Amino acid sequence: VFSAFGYHDYAYFGEASVYGQDLTCEVLQNALERVPDEDVFPEAPSQITVASSPAEEDVYIKRPKKNSGLVAKLFLGETETFEDLLRKPRHKIIVRYHGCIVKRNRITGIVLDRYSKTLEARLEEGADGFNKRLCMDAIVSAVEYLHSLGYAHNDLNPNNVMIAEDDSPIIIDFDSCKRFGEALISGGTWGWIDLDEDYETSQRRHDEFALTKMWNWLEE
């Protein structure tokens, strides 16, 4: 399953049954089909923050990653969370939100700071010189800040933490971030959730479990 975004941010999704060298440009092009805007892009609220013509090499533009009946709702939910956080003092360990790209009165992209590697990728390079305790303390500080605002992230794992040039962590991926008790459309990543818990609503304990698991992973 793959996606592409063309001229004026039109969305295309496709599936192919071949892999590797057989997955040619021709195969990809033939498999892609245009997706109706309403299936992937939510309508832009009137007070949405519109990003000012971002250069893609300077920022990361988050797009819908799949075509499903819920993707537009997830995309809008993440935008609403970022909009609310934008009105609060920014925590430096939470990814910076620059606003949205709006085309045809729909949100087609969420503009965020760009980072080159995840926490998992950083540690695969080697842990020498990497301060695990300092990293974990920073992540905990950011999560506690979210909790103080009434939010739980609900999907903490080493691939949802990016690493800046100075090795400081940055928490990303807020499509499951909701206020305590709100219904979740999606939440948690397999291997980083408590299997005895349901993930139907946003809960502080989801983050607490993931933080403990991340610290154990870092120590290993």
Q: Give the position of tokens 């832009």.
A: 44
- Supply the Cα-derived Rg of the chain in whole angstroms: 18
Same domain, 17 and 95: yes
The answer on 105 and 29 residing in a single domain is yes
Note whether 80 and 145 are same-domain residues.
no
In this structure, are 18 and 53 located in the same domain?
Answer: yes
CA 145 – CA 148 distance, rounded (Å):
5
Same domain? For 90 and 191 the reply is no
Range(s) of the domain holding residue 139: 117-219
For the chain, how many structural domains are there in total?
A: 2
Ranking 5-19, 20-34, 162-176 by mean pLDDT, the lowest is 20-34
Q: What is the pLDDT of residue 1?
A: 66
Share of the chain above pLDDT 70, in %: 94
Q: What is the pLDDT of residues 84-104, one digit of tens each?
A: 999 999 999 999 999 999 999
Domain boundary among 45, 78, 113: 113
Q: Is residue 55 predicted with pLDDT exceeding 90?
A: no
Residues 169 and 182 in one domain: yes
The per-residue pLDDT for 32 is 87
Instruction: Assess whether 54 and 68 both reside in one domain.
Output: yes
Last residue of a domain, one of 87, 113, 139: 113
Query: What's the pLDDT score for residue 62?
Result: 95
Q: How far apart are CA 45 and CA 172, in angstroms?
A: 23
Domain CATH number, residue 168: 1.10.510.10
pLDDT reading at 131 higher than 80: yes
Round to whole Å and give the CA distance between 220 and 214.
Answer: 10
Statement: residue 67 has pLDDT above 80: no
